[in-house]
């Protein structure tokens, strides 16, 4: 049972100096605490003869296996948090735990979008590409709005698989002797090939190295391992020259394969001639204009301020905002979004500000999620993470991850270029969330500290009503 596996894994985390494993240990603690305090959980536990961890077959399929007992919704959500944190760790034991949790969740809730997405991402990290695609497709079939960019992810994996197959076919045609080694143990054949190459016997090494790659494909080795091995082979090959055109073709296929696995195909690399916006250019864009920031809260959705909102010079909305004109207004001039979600990126706006803490992940999201023609301006890296990178406010002064709304608000306050700066519906989710239907199924994340953000706002407020906070 996965709860027992969580208990066992929690013991392994004691004394770990790895930050990610420390965070995983805290998530595990919360799961075990919820299990201990939950009604009737002990009575539903599996008998002592039940194995602690279900051992997956070497080749994972898209289905799931059962777990004993029935878990509460709160406990399942806590398990999903553990699974996502374990996936973030990226180590073998943690990936097995993440997969086990996804199995447990899907056994209890066979149509859980979060469960299928966790399963797909874990299988992808483990290198089981066919099962990854099947799990992503199942998630997509259950989803109305693809806020996580799963459709391009599937397209990228399909394309990468086709390019990998084409690359291996080219190698096999160019070296017919490799087929002699294609049925042997890949690790041993590869080691023999490397040894011959190091000894200067390139003629003997070539068929063994290629044969080992073919053997990896044949025995269903993880695509992550096969991709690394292909890269190593090409390094050896290109170091010694050879047919220029053939090498160029192989290198191009390898590059496309890696890019597509990382971010999916990009139909328009220029993103519809988008203009990249620097900090200074953004200040010029907002200077002298009245601005309102619209929260994704029920207090906005139940209101009737639409006409007043549309009367501002610039209307700023966030992440998975929902439009209901009488309540929310119609216009969106600036869409501020965390890079991890793809909600509303297809909605046409003048400026899209995409925030993210890690530069590499942020760049990948831009490549993967920007819709050509849906925006005129997109922020460059100078506006990627305002509180941290512009304000130099570190974890010691502000430990929590700043929300998209707070990053945007902090930036506007810092630039101090607007004569009117109003926040509408900013009750910090006290009234509940008001978002797109698909996003409403997502829990309000616990990584942010809304109390601190509210205190920061109220310290600077010039006037406060039930619906509006004015900072200027």
pTM: 0.65
Predicted confidence (pLDDT) at residue 324 exceeds the cutoff of 70: yes
Ramachandran sector of residue 289 (left: φ over 0; alpha: ψ -120 to 50; beta: rest): beta
pLDDT of residue 152: 86
Give residue 54's pLDDT band: very low, low, confident or very high (50, 70, 90). Answer: very low
Tell me the per-residue pLDDT of 98-123, one tens digit each, with 9 for 90 and over: 999 999 999 999 999 999 999 999 99
Predicted confidence (pLDDT) at residue 75 exceeds the cutoff of 90: no
pLDDT of residue 443: 59
Predicted confidence (pLDDT) at residue 64 exceeds the cutoff of 60: no
The first and second tokens of residue 414, run together, are 């810092």
pLDDT of residue 59: 44
Q: Provide mean pLDDT across the span 32-53.
A: 51
pLDDT of residue 320: 94
CA 7 from centroid of its chain's CA atoms: 27
**Nearest to 463, CA basis, from 427, 426, 422:** 422
Distance, in Å, from the CA atom of 47 to the CA atom of 226, rounded to the nearest integer, reads 41
**Nearest to 295, CA basis, from 442, 401, 441, 435:** 435
Quick check: helix, strand or coil at residue 379? strand
SS (H, E, C) 433-462: ECCCHHHHCCCCCCCCCHHHHHHHHHHHCC
Of 233-247, 379-393, 435-449, which one has max mean pLDDT?
Answer: 379-393
What is the torsional sign of CA 257, 262, 265, 269?
A: negative
Cα pseudo-dihedral 318, 324, 330, 332, rounded to 10:
10
Do 153 and 129 contact (CB within 8 A), yes or no?
no
What is the torsional sign of CA 314, 315, 318, 323?
A: negative
The first and second tokens of residue 43, run together, are 């009575």
**CB under 8 Å, gap of 24 or more: what pairs does 356-360 form?**
356/384, 356/385, 357/385, 357/388, 357/401, 359/384
Q: Provide mean pLDDT across the span 349-371.
A: 90
pLDDT of residue 44: 40
Tell me the per-residue pLDDT of 117-174, one tens digit each, with 9 for 90 and over: 999 999 999 999 999 999 999 999 998 878 788 888 899 999 999 999 999 999 999 9
pLDDT of residue 210: 97
Predicted confidence (pLDDT) at residue 52 exceeds the cutoff of 70: no
Q: Cβ atoms within 10 A of the Cβ of 21, count?
A: 21
Of 38-52, 197-211, 418-432, which one has max mean pLDDT?
Answer: 197-211
Structure letter (DSSP) for residue 245: H
Predicted confidence (pLDDT) at residue 383 exceeds the cutoff of 80: yes
pLDDT of residue 427: 87
Distance, in Å, from the CA atom of 262 to the CA atom of 284, rounded to the nearest integer, reads 35
Predicted confidence (pLDDT) at residue 412 exceeds the cutoff of 90: yes
Q: Provide mean pLDDT across the span 416-435.
A: 91
Q: Provide mean pLDDT across the span 292-311.
A: 95
Distance, in Å, from the CA atom of 380 to the CA atom of 278, rounded to the nearest integer, reads 6
pLDDT of residue 62: 43
pLDDT of residue 38: 63
The first and second tokens of residue 359, run together, are 């530069």
For residues 430 and 48, which has the higher predicted lDDT (pLDDT)? 430
């Amino acid at each position: 049972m996965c709860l027992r596996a969580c208990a066992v894994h929690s013991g392994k985390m004691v004394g770990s100096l790895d930050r990610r494993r420390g965070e995983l240990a805290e998530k595990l603690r919360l799961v075990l605490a919820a299990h201990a305090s939950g009604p009737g959980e002990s009575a539903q536990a599996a008998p002592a003869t039940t194995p602690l961890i279900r051992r997956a077959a070497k080749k994972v399929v898209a289905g799931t296996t059962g777990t004993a007992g029935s878990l509460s919704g709160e406990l399942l959500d806590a398990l999903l948090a553990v699974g996502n944190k374990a996936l973030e760790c990226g180590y073998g034991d943690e990936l097995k735990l993440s997969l086990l949790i996804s199995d447990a969740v899907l056994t209890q809730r066979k149509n859980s979008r979060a469960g299928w997405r966790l399963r797909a991402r874990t299988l992808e990290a483990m290198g089981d590409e066919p099962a990854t695609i099947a799990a992503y497709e199942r998630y997509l079939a259950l989803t109305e709005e693809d806020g996580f960019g799963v459709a391009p992810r599937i397209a990228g994996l399909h394309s990468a698989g086709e390019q990998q197959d084409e690359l291996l076919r080219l190698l096999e045609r160019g070296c017919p002797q490799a087929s002699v080694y294609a049925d042997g143990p890949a690790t041993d054949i590869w080691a023999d090939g490397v040894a011959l190459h190091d000894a200067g016997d390139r003629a003997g090494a070539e068929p063994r190295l290629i044969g080992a790659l073919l053997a990896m494909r044949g025995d269903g080795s993880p695509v992550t391992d096969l991709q690394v091995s292909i890269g190593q082979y090409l390094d050896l090959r290109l170091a010694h020259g050879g047919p220029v055109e053939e090498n160029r073709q192989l290198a191009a296929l390898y590059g496309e394969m890696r890019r597509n696995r990382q971010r999916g195909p990009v139909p328009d690399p220029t993103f519809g001639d988008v203009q990249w916006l620097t900090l200074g250019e953004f200040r010029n864009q907002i200077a002298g204009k009245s601005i309102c920031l619209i929260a994704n809260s029920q207090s906005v959705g139940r209101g009737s301020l639409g006409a007043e909102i549309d009367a501002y010079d610039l209307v700023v909305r966030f992440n998975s905002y929902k439009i209901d004109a009488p309540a929310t207004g119609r216009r969106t001039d600036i869409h501020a979004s965390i890079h991890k979600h793809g909600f509303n990126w297809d909605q046409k706006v003048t400026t899209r500000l995409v925030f993210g803490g890690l530069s590499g992940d942020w760049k990948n999201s831009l490549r993967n999620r920007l819709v050509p023609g849906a925006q005129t301006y997109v922020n460059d890296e100078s506006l990627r993470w305002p509180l941290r990178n512009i304000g130099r406010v570190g974890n010691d002064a502000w430990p929590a991850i700043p929300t998209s709304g707070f990053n945007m608000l902090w930036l506007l306050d810092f630039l101090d270029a607007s004569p009117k700066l109003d926040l509408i519906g900013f009750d910090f989710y006290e009234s509940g969330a008001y978002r797109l239907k698909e996003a409403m199924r997502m829990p309000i994340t616990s990584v942010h500290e809304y109390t601190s953000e509210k205190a920061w706002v109220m310290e600077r407020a010039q006037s406060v009503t039930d619906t509006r906070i004015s900072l200027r």
